[in-house]
Amino acid sequence: MGMTMTEKILAAHAGLDEVRPGQLINAKVDFVLGNDITAPVAIEEFRKLGLERVFDPERIILVPDHFTPAKDIKSAEQAKILRDFAREYGIKHYFEIGRVGIEHCLLPEQGLVAPGELIIGADSHTCTYGALGAFATGVGSTDMAAAMATGELWFKVPETILFNYYGHLQPWVGGKDLILYAIGDIGVDGARYMAMEFTGEAIAELSLDGRFTMANMAIEAGGKNGIFAPDAKALAYLEGRVKRPYKIYTSDPDAEYAQVKEYDAGKIAPQVAFPHLPENVKPVTEVGEILIDQVVIGSCTNGRLEDLRVAARLLQGKKVHPEVRLIVIPGTQEIYLQALREGLIEIFIEAGAAVSTPTCGPCLGGHMGILARGERALSTTNRNFVGRMGHPESEVYLAGPAVAAASAVRGRIAAPEEVL
């Protein structure tokens, strides 16, 4: 019996010829990631071990991105813990304000992710890196501490669900719509502790930015990881970024899947997830009249260059509705700079948007766009739980950048075609 690509990566890192779902293994990790919320706890636990060094200072990545630029004294202290630890232990990959980005946009851009690698992060959206054919998953802060000390961690090998998107994408449909459609189908626990493997004609059409979005939201279906087989597009993205050897794994023809889901991409319209779960999905054409107070375009889910280009196409020559606040947050400094060079930032500002330095900010209700009681936001972020972006009596609707831009102009949740 063959193995899936997830099983092959785990087997290789555990030094085994094969693994099977449910098997407990101890595997070597390639990189360990932490941010300004999760890493301070890991650092505290690491210090309790009394160790003088980490397992490899070039294999640990610290990214203060959630509450930065520091919004208050407490968040400044959190970031300082990372800064001091990075200096003390010689951590090579520490990213400071002005050179930082939202972690899951930043790591691939910096060549810190490669196919076939095993990457853990004390952040649930670490699964983003599966877009490049890596096994990447979120862990707790204590697991991060253990991995910083030993370079290893235990895993239970997950079962895999195969998602085959056949046919061709409709206009304005991107990775956010494909993954929301799947979550709407299987539910927020439909892939609990399972690998979500994505394939099909529509996936081949999808850009790398779109694939990052899909892998990013695997956790919103309960997935252990999301993963794509690297193709020519992925290799083109990696060229010049990743300068170390890597190995590409693909699933065997006789690999065993827990389920196979088949979706006709030609029938998937832009999607909107209603409060208060990402599974509460409807096509934008069935949303009805829902007025909004704020739109956020950004985050580790949709803060990449393609997302900004899509939004700018719809906002060019138009104005944000006078009763709506539009906040645009490029995912990294490089994305911000390229958007500036292409004139996208000018389009946003002329339309009436506020453009922020890279930060997770409003996505987790941190800063840069907190909601008051009774307010509604349409956001390209990944979660819409109760109180996620502010007051527990506010509401968050999730969508891709096309619907977000159109909605900012119309003052209500709207299809892209409404502003063309």
Please spell the DSSP secondary structure of 362-379, one letter per residue: GGGT-SSSPBPTT-EEEE
Residues whose CB falls within 8 Å of the CB of residue 340, separated by 6 or more in sequence, listed in order: none
Cα 225–chain centre separation: 11
> Tokens 């979706």 — which residue?
263
* pTM attached to this predicted model: 0.95
Residue indicated by tokens 């527990």: 392
Confirm whether 5-263 and 270-419 share one CATH topology. yes
Identify the CATH number of the domain defined by range 5-263: 3.30.499.10
Give the whole-angstrom CA distance, residue 113 versus residue 134: 7
What pLDDT is stored for residue 263 in this prediction? 98
pLDDT digits (tens, 9 = 90+) for 43-85: 999 999 888 899 999 999 999 999 999 999 999 999 999 999 9
The sign of the torsion formed by the CA atoms of 122, 124, 129, 133 equals positive
Helical spans, DSSP H, in 295-332 = 299-302, 305-315
Instruction: Parse the chain into domains and list their residue ranges.
Output: 5-263, 270-419
Q: Environment class of residue 22 by beta-carbon count within 10 Å: exposed (0-12), middle (13-18) or buried (19+)?
A: exposed
Tell whether omega for the bond before 276 is within 30 degrees of 0, i.e. cis: yes
**In one letter, which amino acid is 275?**
P
Round to the nearest angstrom and report the end-to-end CA distance of the chain.
52
Q: What is the pLDDT of residue 247?
A: 97
pLDDT of residue 245: 95
A 10 A CB-CB count for 89 gives 18
Check if the beta carbon of residue 56 is closer than 8 Å to that of residue 97.
no
Determine the pLDDT at residue 40: 96
CATH architecture of 270-419: 2-Layer Sandwich (3.30)
Print pLDDT tens along the chain (420 aa): 899 999 999 999 999 999 999 999 999 999 999 999 999 999 999 999 888 899 999 999 999 999 999 999 999 999 999 999 999 999 999 999 888 899 999 999 999 999 999 999 999 999 999 999 999 999 999 999 999 999 999 999 999 999 999 999 999 999 999 999 999 999 999 999 999 999 999 999 999 999 999 999 999 999 999 999 999 999 999 999 999 999 999 999 999 999 999 999 999 999 999 999 999 999 999 999 999 999 999 999 999 999 999 999 999 999 999 999 999 999 999 999 999 999 999 999 999 999 999 999 999 999 999 999 999 999 999 999 999 999 999 999 999 999 999 999 999 999 999 988
* Residue 361 and residue 370 in contact, taking contact as beta carbons nearer than 8 Å: no
* 106 within 8 A of 9, measured Cβ to Cβ: no
